[in-house]
């Protein structure tokens, strides 16, 4: 399916979901990821299928929300969603595949883990998920589609909680604060301690400190 069937500007945040259903699709999943940019930790993708009638005030792109707001919304999304799937690829897979391919594979896994198989995907960004399922990439989809926004919150909360666990396992790097992103304090810790087992060894800021 080509995007020109869905080229209208959204009149509300369920516009694209409704258009897909009007074209005969029954299970529309929003797809988004968290963790493309960090120097450490996994990339996490989520797929979320919302009911046709869905309201959750305050739900938007996870990057526009505080950690406290995301944690408040997360159980509400889980309670109301028809289905949620999560895909996770670790730092080793990111190094092996590259971050784009790892992200797309995490998205594919998230879709395959939905308890209701999706027949249409709304994907944040410009790339297609490597599946035969009909889909529509949406630039800034997490601000234009509630399904994608819900997926962005789920992915971000799951990843942040994982990084809190890694902070306890690998103390000294400050993962609980920066969540693996390349803050000055994080870069200094890498230079001082060397990379941990969850660092992405092919990323600038890390690879310079990999023992020869």
Q: What is the pLDDT of residues 28-62, one digit of tens each?
A: 999 999 999 999 999 999 999 999 989 899 999 89
Q: What pLDDT band is residue 3 in, cutting at 50, 70 and 90?
A: very low
Higher pLDDT, 104 or 4: 104
Structural domain includes residue 190: no
β-pair partners for 88: 44
Give the chain's domain count.
Answer: 1
- The number of beta carbons lying within 10 Å of the beta carbon of residue 100 is 13
CB atoms within 10 A of CB 44: 25
The pLDDT-based confidence of 212 (bands split at 50, 70, 90) is: confident
- Asked if residue 209 is part of any domain, the answer here is no
Tokens for 107?
A: 């998205």
Residue 130 belongs to some domain of the structure: yes
Residue 87 lies in a domain: yes
Distance CA 178, CA 169 (A): 15
- Please tell me the pTM assigned to this model: 0.94
Domain presence at residue 181: no
Confidence of residue 2 (pLDDT cuts 50, 70, 90): very low
What pLDDT does residue 104 have?
Answer: 98
Long-range contacts of 172-181 (CB under 8 A, 24+ apart): 173/40, 175/40, 175/41, 179/38, 179/41, 180/35, 180/38, 180/39, 180/40, 180/41, 181/37, 181/38, 181/39
Residue 179 falls inside a structural domain: no
Between CA 90 and CA 80 the distance in angstroms is 29
Q: Is residue 140 part of a domain?
A: yes
Give 121-175 pLDDT, tens digit per residue: 999 999 999 999 999 999 999 999 999 999 999 999 999 999 999 999 999 999 9
Domain harbouring 133, CATH code: 3.30.420.10
Would residue 196 count as lying in a domain? no
Structural domain for 115, as ranges? 3-159
């Amino acid at each position: 399916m080509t995007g020109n069937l869905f080229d209208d500007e959204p009149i509300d945040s369920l516009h694209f979901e409704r258009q897909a259903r009007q074209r005969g699709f029954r299970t529309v999943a929003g797809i988004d990821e968290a963790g493309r940019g960090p120097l450490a930790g996994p990339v996490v993708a989520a797929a979320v299928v919302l009911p046709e009638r869905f309201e959750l005030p305050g739900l938007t792109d996870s990057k526009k929300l505080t950690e406290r707001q995301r944690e408040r919304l997360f159980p509400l999304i889980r309670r109301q969603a028809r289905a949620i799937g999560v895909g996770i690829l670790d730092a080793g897979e990111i190094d092996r595949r590259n971050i784009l391919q790892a992200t797309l594979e995490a998205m594919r896994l998230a879709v395959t883990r939905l308890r209701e198989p999706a027949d249409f995907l709304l994907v944040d960004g410009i790339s297609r998920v490597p599946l035969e399922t009909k889909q529509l990439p949406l630039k800034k989809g997490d601000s234009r589609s509630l399904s994608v926004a819900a997926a962005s919150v789920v992915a971000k909360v799951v990843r942040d909680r994982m990084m809190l666990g890694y902070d306890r396992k690998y103390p000294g790097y400050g993962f609980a604060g920066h969540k693996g992103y390349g803050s000055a304090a994080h870069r200094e810790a890498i230079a001082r301690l060397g990379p941990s087992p969850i660092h992405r060894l092919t990323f600038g800021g890390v690879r310079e400190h990999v023992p020869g």
